[in-house]
Structures are given as structure tokens and as C-alpha cells.
Structure 1
């Protein structure tokens, strides 16, 4: 049996791996979908932190979470924009970007408004009840619309590539 020198064999394997990965290998639809969904799901931590702060009536904490979340969303949108498109992706990436921008609108504007209203309410201003309810409805409807858009695009993507 011929003995193979390990160092040249490992070096050759590494060179082949680098060449294959840099030569425009076809993107895997599963990996593409997973990467996009991971970016979307990364928002869950910020949402949970926001819900905890709001439920605890800690509106200064909610404001810190809101600002941090908005910054994270800027980075997430940029990350997805820089991702190489999967050939024949007919809408998943676009739906994710649209969803992230929707989350950004909610974090940057809608929650800012809600936090201000809740602070006024906490200070004794009972006249803001209807505005608070309208803000909550707008936020919840926004989340529902984003989820619906991304879920539809994800289902369409899955049907196309799950053959």
C-alpha cells in the first residue's frame, strides 16, 4: 500500500476547496432561504426586549431598545442588500428587505410615538388612551402585514425549490 504524505494532501484539498468556493459555485436554495430567515428572525430578540420594557412600564429602557433595534435593522437591511441574489429568486429577498424596512418603520417611528404616549399616560394624561390604542393597532397590523408578506414569499420559494 502506498503511503501518502499528509501535508501535500491537505494542502491540495485546501486549494481545491478555495477554488471551488471562489469560482462562482451555484448557490444552494436552502442555504439562501436559511440565511434570509436568520436575518429576519434576529429581530425577535429586540421585539422581546421591547415587549418586556413596555409591559414593565420602563419607557426609558424601551427607548434604549428602540434605538438599538433601529440600528440593528439598518445593518440587517444592508446585509441582505449585499447578499448575492439566487438566480430565479422571484421575490423572497425583496420580501425580506421590505419586511425589514417595515420593522424599521415600526421601531423608528411607531414605537417612538407609542413610548411618548405611554410616558404622557404614566404622568397622568388620560387623554392619550385612544392614541395609544391606535398606535398599538398600527404596530400590530404592521407586524401582521410583514409576516404575511414574508410567509407568502417563503412559501412560494419553497414550492419552487422543493421539487
Structure 2
């Protein structure tokens, strides 16, 4: 499901007969689609945000598995998420720094590595707690709260750097 969305988003439907990549601002839909390049600071920011947004899609898959109490599926999502992070970092690295400014790129990579670490530790623990029949226990709630607090902190830091980046280049 994530893979199909990624293929659609990046226009990677496969084969020589596949339709051309759709990227950039789509006025009709009111959505920015990643295109793998940028013409200005706003597009650069949007490209990196598109990469960051993949965390939301993985989280949606995780939440669906957890809501169904399908901890084998949650574990599968966790492992796939960890495996996908290096690809997202590589996509970001292809974009490079913007006019020598790597602040937003580095913030994104830090945010992505945070999610990898969270899946290695916090979500591994949460899945183990729930798989052992302790869903809704104090231990479960504490781990969930810790995970959520860390997600909010990392997201806030990344968004703060994004705002600073856009302010820095707003006059170009």
C-alpha cells in the first residue's frame, strides 16, 4: 500500500509506456507533488516536506495494524518502515543543500533518523507490550505517551527549521 502510493506520487508506475511524472504544484487539486527537483526555496522546502510526509503514511499503516490488534502486521510495518528510511534519506541527499544551506536537509535527515530509532526502540517495545496482552495497561499508556511526545518534539524541531529556512530565503 505504501509502495503503490510512493510510486504514484513519484510517477514511478513502471515501464517505458508509463505516463510522464507529475510533479510540482497542482492547482486543480491544491496539492504539491514531489518532482525530485526544485526551482526556488519554496519548492525545495516542499520537496523535503513530501519526503517527511512519508512518515505519516507509515504511521497510518502502523495505527491500522494496532487498531486491529494485529501485532504481527504492526511488527511487519515497523520493520518495513526502518528499511525504508535510508531510501528517504537518499532522496533528500539527491536534492542536496539549497544554495549552500544544508540546514533544512540536515533537519529532515535528523527527523528521519529519529523515526528509525523510534521504530527500533519505542515502537518495538509498544508492540511487545501489546502482543503480551497488556493493551490499555499503565505500561502500554506510558510507552504510547513517550512515543507520541518524542514524535511531537521531533516534528516541532523539523518544522521550526523549515520556518527559519523559508524566512531566510523569502526575498528571493
After superposition, the CA RMSD in angstroms is: 2.1
Aligned to 1:154: 162
Unaligned stretches of 5+ residues in structure 1: 1-25
Asked if residue 89 in structure 1 is aligned to residue 97 in structure 2, the reply is no
In structure 2, distance between residues paired with 1:81 and 1:138 = 30
The 5 Å alignment of 1:89-128 reads: 89=101, 91-121=103-133
Bigger relative contact order, structure 1 or 2 (CA pairs below 8 A, ≥6 apart): 1
Aligned to 2:13: none
Greater radius of gyration (CA): 1
Tell me, what secondary structure is at the counterpart of 2:121?
helix
Counterpart contact for 2:96–2:102, Cα < 8 Å: no
Counterpart contact for 1:27–1:86, Cα < 8 Å: no
The 5 Å alignment of 1:12-91 reads: 28-89=40-101, 91=103
Q: TM-score, normalised by structure 1?
A: 0.74
User: What displacement does 1:40 show?
Assistant: 0.2
Aligned to 1:137: 145
Counterpart contact for 2:125–2:143, Cα < 8 Å: yes
Q: Decide which structure has greater helix share.
A: 1
Aligned pair count? 134
Runs of 4+ in 1 over 3 A off after TM superposition: none
User: What displacement does 1:45 show?
Assistant: 1.2
In structure 1, distance between residues paired with 2:117 and 2:56 = 16
